[in-house]
Amino acid sequence: MFDKVLIANRGEIAVRIIRACRELGLKTVAVFSDVDRQALHVRFADEAYYLGSPPARESYLRGDRIIEIALKSGAGAIHPGYGFLAERADFAQACIDAGLAFIGPKPSAIAAMGDKAIARATVSAAGVPVVPGTAGEGALSNDELLAIAPTIGFPLLAKATAGGGGKGMREVRNIEEMPRLLNAARREAEAAFGDGNVYLEKLLEEARHIEFQILADNQGNVIHLGERECSLQRRHQKILEETPSPFIADDQEFRQQMGEVAVRAAKAVGYVNAGTIEFLVDKDKRYYFLEMNTRLQVEHPITEAVTNVDIVKEQIRIARGRSLNYTQEDISQHGWAIECRINAEDPYENFLPSTGRISHILLPTGPGVRVDTGVYPGFTISPYYDSLISKLIVHGKTRAEAILRMRRALEEYKITGVRTNIPFHQMLMNSHRFMAGQYDTRFIEDRFSFNSVNIDKSSDADIAAILATLVAHQQIQRSTHIIRRGKRDTSNWKWVGRWERMHR
């Protein structure tokens, strides 16, 4: 049984896994690229080894080096986190071949679910409904896809066969734009996953993206931890998740039914460890299997908040060969949780990624607030990895309490040095449709306009004018070296010296 774990990842998820290991008394091994020497996962781990240059394929994708480091350091297991090597069946197999425990599913399950075509065929055979599309028909050329497209009908999605997380995905609304979009999707898929194959899928309109968290042990126990509502997406990237789903709400029967189907889908591939079954659900509560993510999910903390299950600790427990701590009957949802993904990107500049040195952070804290982050003041965000720098998770007794808590946490959260999408989340939290829980996967792109110029009557434009004027005035005063007498000392330092006098 292993007592040291190598974390083959970086950023917030590496920190999250290190924390779980520490709390289980396991030693941790970090790996890092040149730009991550001072990253939090390196600072927090018991051991840390250099991997290579910043580009992922020279560092965090170097499975061979990572296994070599695991063996050298005496780590008995590797946790892949999400992204990078997490869904590479060959890497999972290589770990096992090297005598290391892979904290995740069996390579066969990764392979079966990793190829979306096989995945859909497998679960379909197990009686789970799937979205219509070309999945299961192998690697098709552009010409073949162009021929099939009209039989599925527009709009449709071109999606990377090896993909996930919205990368290598394009929405196609007509046949004319299809060749160009196919090429773009292939190119992105090639860059992200080293595999440029794409398939087509019917785009369901007014659909919800709802997923179920699965836990499965080696003893054949498979349970689900309820759903997560992930319909709020921008460019097919999840941006905010909540649980329970406001769409399922208190329809326990529907929840139980979908949960059972999710468990069945996991069982269809002999699934072990943590995984997620993603469904599309239309407005008539018809649901279709979309894909299975055979790894820990970015948004796992909201499930932890409402079920009180530590998913990462369960993953490790399973990998150690123990049976689950919970049966399906033990699991229930308490209260409501929301996660906002805080990305280093500028919402006022078309969400372009933002890089640079973080100069200051004021973290929101207090009751019901959890922050999972991999950055700190002084750390530099490089352009090499994805822009998720922090996850802000709140938990409340009701959805209303969770929303109000998220609002106050977002208002408290200050990051300077890089731009973040915090203002976007603030606007989202104030949107009436979000508050009412009325949104689908198209909501953000179709109905939610994020625009700084839309300043309404109730706004603080006058205050903004005053603030800008005061700052400008201060700058002019300083630059012209005007020395004012009696200017108020802005620090409270002087009072430390005055303490004596004041105290008398």
Partner 1 sequence: MKYISTVIESEYIIEILDEKHLSINGEVHTIDFEEVDGQPVFSLILDGKSYEAFVYFEEGEWKVMLHGTLYPVLVEDEREKRLRQAYGGGVTQTSEYHLKAPMPGMVVSIPVEEGQQINKGDALLILESMKMQNELRSPRSGKVTRIRVEPGDHVEKKQTLLSVE
Spell out, one character per residue from 439 to 478, where the chain touches a copy of itself: x when CB under 8 A holds, - when not.
----------------------------------------
Range in contact with partner 1 (rule: CB under 8 A) among 207-215, 219-227, 310-318, 382-390: 382-390
Q: Judged by CB, which is closer to a copy of itself: 118, or 404?
A: 404
Spell out, one character per residue from 241 to 260, where the chain touches a copy of itself: x when CB under 8 A holds, - when not.
--------------------
C-alpha 277/C-alpha 263 separation (Å) is: 9
Q: Judged by CB, which is closer to partner 1: 30, or 89?
A: 30
38 binds partner 1 (CB under 8 A): yes
**Whole-number Cα distances in Å, 168 to 78, 163, 413:** 27, 7, 32
Spell out, one character per residue from 205 to 244, where the chain touches a copy of itself: x when CB under 8 A holds, - when not.
----------------------------------------
Long-range contacts of 185-192 (CB under 8 A, 24+ apart): 185/158, 185/159, 185/160, 188/160, 189/160, 189/161, 189/162, 189/163, 192/160, 192/163, 192/167, 192/168
Neighbours of 138 (CB within 10 A): 13
Q: How far is the CB of 135 from partner 1 (least distance, A)?
A: 23
Please choose, from the candidates 394, 353, 393, 359, the residue with its C-alpha nearest in 3D space to the C-alpha of residue 376.
359
Which residue among 6, 13, 30, 44 contacts a copy of itself (CB under 8 A)? 44
Contact between 202 and 133 (Cβ < 8 Å): yes
**Whole-number Cα distances in Å, 347 to 22, 352, 406:** 36, 7, 19
Of residues 385 through 414, those in contact with a copy of itself by CB under 8 A are 396-397, 401, 404-405, 407-408, 411-412
Q: Which two tokens stand for residue 234?
A: 């921008």
Catalytic residue chosen out of the listed positions 186, 208, 295, 405: 295
Please choose, from the candidates 359, 360, 464, the residue with its C-alpha nearest in 3D space to the C-alpha of residue 413.
360
73 binds partner 1 (CB under 8 A): yes
The H or E element containing residue 206 is none
Q: Could you please report the per-residue DSSP string of 346-368?
A: EGGGTTEE--EE--EEE---STT
Of residues 145 through 184, those in contact with partner 1 by CB under 8 A are 167, 184
Q: Judged by CB, which is closer to a copy of itself: 367, or 480?
A: 367
Range in contact with a copy of itself (rule: CB under 8 A) among 22-30, 153-161, 166-174, 256-264: 22-30
Contact between 272 and 218 (Cβ < 8 Å): yes
Count residues binding a copy of itself (CB under 8 A): 62
308 binds partner 1 (CB under 8 A): no
**Whole-number Cα distances in Å, 111 to 217, 232, 293, 294, 332:** 18, 28, 11, 9, 31
Contact between 328 and 224 (Cβ < 8 Å): yes
C-alpha 195/C-alpha 116 separation (Å) is: 13
Q: Judged by CB, which is closer to partner 1: 398, or 459?
A: 459
338 binds a copy of itself (CB under 8 A): no
Which residue among 451, 458, 480, 490 contacts a copy of itself (CB under 8 A)? 490
Which residue among 87, 310, 314, 339 contacts a copy of itself (CB under 8 A)? 310
Q: How far is the CB of 31 from a copy of itself (least distance, A)?
A: 15
Q: Judged by CB, which is closer to partner 1: 122, or 343?
A: 343
Q: Which two tokens stand for residue 66?
A: 């990572």
148 class by beta-carbon count within 10 Å (0-12 exposed, 13-18 middle, 19+ buried): middle
**Catalytic residue list contains 295:** yes
C-alpha triplet 73, 78, 79: angle, nearest 5°: 135
Q: How far is the CB of 153 from a copy of itself (least distance, A)?
A: 39
Which residue among 4, 19, 267, 442 contacts a copy of itself (CB under 8 A)? 19
**Residue carrying structure tokens 């104030």:** 430
Of residues 355 through 384, those in contact with a copy of itself by CB under 8 A are 355, 357, 360, 362-363, 365-367, 369-373, 376-378, 380, 382-384
Of residues 62 through 91, those in contact with a copy of itself by CB under 8 A are none
C-alpha 17/C-alpha 109 separation (Å) is: 22
Which of a copy of itself, partner 1, none does 470 bind, CB closer than 5 to 8 A by kind?
A: partner 1
Which of a copy of itself, partner 1, none does 398 bind, CB closer than 5 to 8 A by kind?
A: none
Please choose, from the candidates 282, 384, 285, the residue with its C-alpha nearest in 3D space to the C-alpha of residue 35.
384
Distance of CA 296 to the CA centre of its chain: 10
Residues near a copy of itself, by CB under 8 A: 15-16, 19-20, 22-25, 34-38, 44, 53-55, 58, 301, 304, 308, 310, 334-335, 355, 357, 360, 362-363, 365-367, 369-373, 376-378, 380, 382-384, 396-397, 401, 404-405, 407-408, 411-412, 490-493, 495-496, 499, 502-503
* Residues acting as catalytic residues: 295
